[in-house]
Amino acid sequence: MEYEKLSMNALKCMYVASVIAGVILLAVIGAVNYFWIFPKEIWIGKIVSVVLSCVILADMAVSPYFRFHRYQYSINDECIDIKEGYLFVKRNIVPIERLHKLQIEKGPIDQFFHVSKVVVTTAGGDVKIQFLEEDKAERITESLSNRINEIVSERKEQDGREN
C-alpha cells in the first residue's frame, strides 16, 4: 500500500495553529502568575510556570514537524488508511463500503493556507483526512463518492439476481 504525504502548506498551517495555541496557553500562565491568588512567596508556583512555559515553547517548535512527517494516508478501492500522531501514532482504517457521508471542512487557518479536511462519517464515528490541498480534497471526495455509488449499484444488482 502506497501512502501519500502532505504538502508544505500543511506544515506551515500546523506551525501557525501550534503557535496560536501556544500563545493562548502562555497568556493563561501569565495571567495566573499576574493574578496569583496565593501569597507571592510561593516559589513552587513560579517554578511550575517556568517549566510549563518551556514545555509549551518546545512543543510549539517540535510537534508540527513530527506530526507533519508522521502523517500519511492511503486510499484504495477497499479502504482509507490514515496514520497520524506526535508522541503516539494512531492508525485509522475505514472500509469504503461503510461510509455514510463525506464532507469538506476548512477552518480560518486552513483557508489562509489553502488546505482542507475531508471528513468521512461512518456508523462508528468520523475520520478526518487533514491538511489536504483544496483541489486534492475535492478530487478525493469525488472519487470516494463515485466508489460508494459503484458499491451501491453492485449491491442492487446482486439483490435483483437473488430475488
Q: What is the DSSP string of 6-60?
A: PPHHHHHHHHHHHHHHHHHHHHHHHHHHHT-SS-TT-HHHHHHHHHHHHHHHHHH
In this prediction, residue 33 carries a pLDDT of: 80
- The residue ranges of the chain whose pLDDT is under 50 are none
Convert the pLDDT of each residue in 45-84 to its tens digit: 788 888 999 999 999 999 999 999 999 999 998 899 999 9
In this prediction, residue 74 carries a pLDDT of: 95
Q: Are 119 and 105 in contact (CB under 8 A)?
A: yes
Q: Are 124 and 117 in contact (CB under 8 A)?
A: no
Model confidence, pTM: 0.83
